[in-house]
């Protein structure tokens, strides 16, 4: 079987490449890349795969007008807060100031304009080139977020076999590019419900396959030689979650307050802080270096997000050896719940009614559904509760509430995920 795979951030998604490598043992794998990405990747480093450049965009006045209309009037998921936060994150990472300003202007228009155009309807209007070689592909596997609109328009119009893997637990609630005619693969039954309720995908088009991102948890749990303890002191591990400058400053202020309280209660402990890899300016974190009980755990390419397998396992090892893990809404906070280390969501910021504030970030759809509303014991709601927690951690009498969070998900190996995926791909080919 020949499988065409399309994913954002090819070199950053180690888990997708691992699955593709396993698939390549019995199938022919063709990766489709955007032109700019194809220039940046050393394709010779991946001999198991074939690479093709997507060439479907047609530059015309009518196509550009349709793109602008969709940008301003597009329908977004009912979990609007998640969507706007994601778009602000994308805007913050644009290189040029003029592009960031333009992006925020369009986001302002999206807030006030009626939501009239679905992604399906938009794709139906595009005129594509038909130049990309796709004739020999039996089934396509897309990983969200769907990109290359003209390419997708062609796959949809020519009724190609397409499976879409919803790559993260928050993609259904923060992205606008979903097509009802495609088949979808999700982490769990709960995420299947999210896709149906927030994106109106028919339940019959959704299958549970598991999470590639959890494959590293399985790898860590089954290491033949356990990794050594990363620090010679007791620590709290905080995982930063924010890639938007103004909100990152608020998160950093919160971290400084946590470090102060930790020093008051457990002066010999350290607060180990993992910066958010995709925050464009890691200089924001420099202020934390002034605290003598804060350690920055930034063993990765700052501001880029690319990590090796060894760095990913180091991250999990640091979680494993911490007294607890803290966050304000991260996938790592969910991953930490699968360890013996208690994972806590911090809900310490009040709603100041601003459109962009930390409270809205904490109370995103997926955080409330899978953590806050699922495990009250895993949520810290006041500084007084935080001080009590530090004291209990010191005395070793903390109740671990992780199981109430992990009950909604399952950790499976890369091999088990690939086996499940292979069956679904074969079914779609028929």
The tally of CA atoms less than 13 A away on the side-chain side of residue 137 is 25
The confidence score (pLDDT) of residue 303 equals 47
Distance CA 25, CA 328 (A): 40
| For helices 97-112 and 61-73, angle between their N-to-C axes, nearest 10 degrees | 60
The confidence score (pLDDT) of residue 96 equals 87
- Tokens found for residue 312: 């990913």
The confidence score (pLDDT) of residue 430 equals 67
Nearest to 356 by CA among 204, 274, 276, 250: 250
Q: Where are the alpha helices (DSSP H) in 266-330?
A: 309-321
Q: Which helix (H) or strand (E) holds 207?
A: strand 206-208
Q: How far apart are the two ends of the chain, measured CA to CA in Å?
A: 11
The confidence score (pLDDT) of residue 318 equals 94
Across the 430 residues of the chain, what is the mean pLDDT of every consecutive 10-residue run?
A: 94 94 97 92 92 96 96 92 88 85 90 93 96 97 95 96 96 94 96 95 96 96 87 94 88 95 95 90 91 86 66 93 95 92 93 78 93 90 94 89 92 96 88
Report all structural domains of the chain as residue ranges with CATH numbers, in order of start. 2-57+123-211+412-429 (3.40.50.2000), 61-112 (no CATH), 225-406 (3.40.50.2000)
């Amino acid at each position: 079987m020949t499988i065409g795979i399309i994913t954002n951030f090819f070199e950053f998604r180690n888990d997708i490449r691992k699955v593709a490598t396993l698939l390549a043992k019995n199938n022919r794998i063709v990766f489709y890349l955007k032109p700019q990405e194809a220039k940046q990747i050393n394709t010779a480093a991946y001999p198991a795969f074939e690479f093709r450049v997507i060439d479907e965009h047609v530059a015309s006045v009518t196509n550009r007008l349709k793109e602008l209309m969709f940008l301003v009037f597009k329908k977004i998921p009912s979990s609007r807060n998640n969507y706007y936060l994601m778009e602000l994150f994308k805007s913050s990472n644009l290189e040029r100031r003029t592009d960031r300003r333009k992006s925020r202007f369009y986001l302002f228009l999206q807030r006030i304009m009626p939501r009239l155009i679905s992604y399906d309807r938009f794709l139906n209007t595009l005129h594509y080139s038909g130049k990309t070689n796709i004739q020999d592909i039996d089934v396509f596997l897309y990983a969200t977020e769907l990109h290359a609109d003209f390419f997708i328009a062609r796959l949809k119009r020519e009724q190609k076999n397409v499976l879409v893997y919803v790559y993260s637990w928050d993609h259904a609630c923060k992205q606008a590019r979903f097509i009802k005619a495609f088949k979808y693969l999700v982490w769990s039954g709960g995420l299947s419900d999210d896709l149906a309720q927030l994106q109106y995908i028919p339940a019959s088009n959704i299958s549970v396959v598991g999470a590639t991102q959890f494959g590293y948890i399985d790898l860590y749990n089954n290491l033949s030689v356990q990794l050594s303890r990363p620090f010679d002191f007791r620590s709290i591990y905080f995982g930063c979650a924010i890639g938007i400058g103004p909100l990152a400053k608020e998160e950093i202020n919160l971290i400084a307050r946590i470090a102060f309280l930790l020093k008051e209660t457990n002066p010999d402990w350290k607060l180990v802080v993992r910066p958010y890899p995709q925050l464009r300016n890691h200089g924001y974190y420099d202020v934390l270096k002034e605290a003598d009980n804060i350690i920055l755990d930034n063993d990765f390419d700052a501001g880029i997000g690319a990590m090796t397998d060894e760095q990913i396992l180091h991250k999990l090892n640091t979680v494993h050896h911490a007294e607890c893990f803290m966050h304000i809404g991260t996938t790592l906070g969910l991953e930490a719940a699968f360890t013996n280390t208690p994972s806590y969501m911090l809900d310490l910021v009040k709603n100041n009614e601003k459109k962009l504030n930390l409270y809205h970030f904490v109370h995103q759809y997926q955080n409330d559904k899978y953590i806050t509303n699922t495990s009250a014991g895993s949520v810290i709601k006041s500084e007084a509760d935080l001080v009590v927690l530090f004291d209990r951690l010191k005395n070793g009498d903390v109740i671990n509430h992780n199981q109430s969070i992990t009950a909604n998900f399952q950790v499976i190996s890369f091999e088990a995920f690939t086996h499940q995926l292979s069956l679904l791909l074969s079914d779609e080919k028929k």
